[in-house]
Amino acid sequence: MKSITTQELSGNLDNLLDEILSTGIPLEIERRGKRLRIIPVEPLDKLEKLVHRPHVILGEPDTLVESNWEQEVTQD
């Protein structure tokens, strides 16, 4: 968890709030010897950030082991 002072918070509030929303990691602020925390109310959905990879093989592990890969592999 990132920890900052109130001076750092006031100078960079928009960027810090965007960082909290995009990462889901809370921000701790120290003020007069006390600590405060800014956390997102809704948990971050990590599946939303997945990158589409069209060449990934989808399937059950057992069927992948039994597959014939000779057509896919070239041994030059």
pTM of the entire predicted model? 0.57
What residue ranges define each of the domains in the chain, with the CATH number in brackets?
A: 1-43 (3.40.1620.10)
Mean per-residue pLDDT of the chain: 83
The closest of 16, 73, 10 to 39, measured between CA atoms, is: 16
In DSSP terms, which residues pair with 29 in a beta bridge?
4, 36
pLDDT tens, position by position, 28-48 = 999 999 999 999 898 878 787
**Who wins on pLDDT, 68 or 7?**
7
Higher pLDDT, 60 or 19: 19
Integer Cα distance of 48 and 55 in angstroms: 19
Angle formed at CA 45 by CA 22 and CA 3, multiple of 5 degrees: 40
